[in-house]
Chain A
């Protein structure tokens, strides 16, 4: 990894209210469906996460929205196929989506560094 752990602590801005939970389950939760509200996230994570969660075969529906542009919250809705309700809760799909997105980042980084290094070598840099 080219981006060492020593930098990670200072990569994301500190949370405004320290220790506050940034994820909530919105009212109307059922065994196979739930909407989550995430603070301080926008389309950047919203759309990428929605894509990763939709790649989960247990997920019937996933969508995200920014309810109002002046509030920095992002809502994400997950519905599980009734036949998978027993084994997958919506929150499991959410966590799997986050894990998968993180794995994707690792792969992109690895390939990016390899492509850059071989290009630099070709160019004699």
Chain B
């Protein structure tokens, strides 16, 4: 039941066992005498975005006065539809490690690939579609990044011998006994060296362990990375993860003082509630986890009202390394906009085709009428 109280309208109620006032109601015709028609100027005036953290691998920001459906679209696009490069094909030349070919290939695929971000965005999609003659299109410099991995494990000369009490560390015994993501080396093709402009492709995190080797074992492969999206395979997802939560609200309805205030404070994560002048005060509701612990205490049950602001989204975007985290959000906006543009053109084409069909049919009918007339004339 939507509350008549305006200040409570965009608050989702949080109760001991239930939630209330969950769905958006900002639609035309919902409230008598109120206009909720889409209005770009109003949206622009009300929308508020504030950053709390902006690091290449982690951004936190608030987007306020936006509907959950749109906020969720951005989140879903960040996870599943912002394109990145990942290793898609592994041409295994030699693999005598204990890791099977397919498992090693899978591990290679999951390594985030970083490079000049503009060049990656400009590169094309590798087309898997067979050509008219049935052959599979070959990779080009525009759509494929070629890597190699060649690691041979060998015994170190003059390695210490194991004794009865201790075994030497593999580092002292062998060369290349661990294969890391940094062993993936880029081989430039065509004009790629130029286009990557001093920032060639490499593993975003150099220390990902891919396999372990022992003397005599070899891993040698050629790797092809192509553009893809997270909904096809999670390895293409640029975030780990992108999420949001709604801003919690804690409303103290009756003053809570002295010892009760200390007990009240303990119901929340540290920093959320402080006791100031012997009275409990909500200092930072952002940090609340909305555990509802306070509602389990008989003494506070009727003195506090918990809620969440329905249109206040606290985003947290963690990049897996391919792009800067703030740029991933910008790309998600661009993807949504492109989806709209593309779909609009499809709808327009559909209308045009319908129109043409109707004209053709009418033309046929007119022709038929002409024939009838001729019959009459005769």
| Residues of A participating in the B interface, judged by any CB pair closer than 8 Å | 2-3, 6-8, 10-14, 16, 21-25, 38, 41, 43-45, 47-48, 50-52, 54-57, 91, 94-95, 98-109, 111-116, 119-120, 123, 125
Contacts and interface: CB of A to CB of B under 8 A. Distances in A.
A115 to B, nearest CB: 4
B47 A108 contact: yes
A102 B81 CA distance: 17
B50 interface: yes
B49 A105 contact: no
Q: What is the size category of the interface that chain B forms with chain A?
A: 35 or more
Given A21-B353, A44-B77, 5 more contacts: A3-B334, A8-B338, A10-B124, A107-B43, A109-B333
Interface in B47-100: 47-51, 54, 61, 63, 66-67, 69-70, 72-74, 76-77, 80-81, 83
B44 interface: yes
A120 B326 CA distance: 11
Contact of B122 (A6, A41, A111): A6
Given A21-B346, A102-B340, A108-B63, A54 B27 contact: yes
Contacts of B54: 116, 119-120, 123, 125
A22 B340 contact: no
Given A7-B122, A47-B69, A48-B70, A22 B28 contact: no
A23 B345 CA distance: 10
A19 to B, nearest CB: 10
A102 B340 CA distance: 6
Contact of A51 (B69, B81, B125, B129): B69
Contacts of B335: 11-12
A10 B341 contact: no
B276 interface: no
Contacts of A109: 330, 333-334
Given A8-B334, A10-B124, A50-B69, A119 B343 contact: no
A44 to B, nearest CB: 4
Nearest to A109: B333
| Among B24, B118, B343: residue with most chain A CB under 10 A | B343
B344 interface: yes
A41 B81 CA distance: 11
B190 to A, nearest CB: 17
A2 to B, nearest CB: 6
A69 B66 CA distance: 28
Contacts of A51: 24, 67, 69-70
A115 B315 CA distance: 14
A11 B70 contact: no
A101 B121 CA distance: 23
B27 A55 contact: yes
A66 to B, nearest CB: 13
B363 to A, nearest CB: 22
Interface stretch (B1-9, B32-40, B171-179, B253-261): B32-40
B121 A7 contact: yes
| Among B49, B61, B351: residue with most chain A CB under 10 A | B49
B350 interface: yes
B337 interface: yes
Contact of A48 (B73, B229, B331): B73
B346 A22 contact: yes
B334 A7 contact: yes
A123 B43 CA distance: 28
A43 B339 CA distance: 13
Interface string B285-311: 000000000000000000000000000
Contacts of B38: 52, 55-56, 100
Given A23-B346, A56-B38, A91-B347, A44 B73 contact: yes
Contact of B125 (A14, A52, A99, A125): A14
Contact of A10 (B123, B339, B346): B123
A50 B63 CA distance: 20
B269 interface: no
Given A52-B38, A112-B333, A22 B61 contact: no
Contacts of B329: 112
B338 A11 contact: yes
B227 interface: yes
Nearest to B336: A105
Given A48-B73, A98-B340, A98-B344, A112 B81 contact: no
A21 B349 contact: yes
Contacts of B341: 98, 102
Contact of B336 (A57, A101, A107, A114): A101
